[in-house]
Amino acid sequence: MNHYETVFILNPVLSETQIKETVQKYEEFLTSRGAKMVSKEDWGLKKLAYPIQNKKSGFYHLFEYQVDGEVITPLEVEFRRDERFMRYLTVALDKHAISWAERRRVKLKQKA
């Protein structure tokens, strides 16, 4: 099992309910294929550096999970098919990135 992190930007015209349903759908997509969710973060509505699809903001979310590599391609195909997604990026984490992500999660818990 490899360790991955996916950041995606959802369309800003979606309602809070639609955003929750979308995030839930893709979390279930991953877990149904054997993924172990390490962390989920909702970064909220943020201004974009440049317009995407004539939108100047978007809802950012982050998934950190462990899964076999063959699950990533079907996940990204689903992202491309879903018009609610404006952008996404999936990266495989090495041991240094995993430790950095762990330290970031600890900091976030201390702030809360």
Per-domain boundaries in the chain: 2-111
CA distance 57 to 45: 7
CATH class of 2-111: alpha beta
3-state secondary structure of 77: helix
Which conformational region is residue 106 in: left (phi greater than 0), alpha (psi within -120 to 50 degrees), or beta?
Answer: alpha
pLDDT in tens, 97-112: 999 999 998 988 887 7
pLDDT in tens, 27-54: 999 999 999 999 999 999 999 999 999 9
How confident is residue 86, by pLDDT bands cut at 50, 70 and 90?
A: very high
The reported pTM is 0.91
pLDDT at residue 109, rounded to an integer: 83
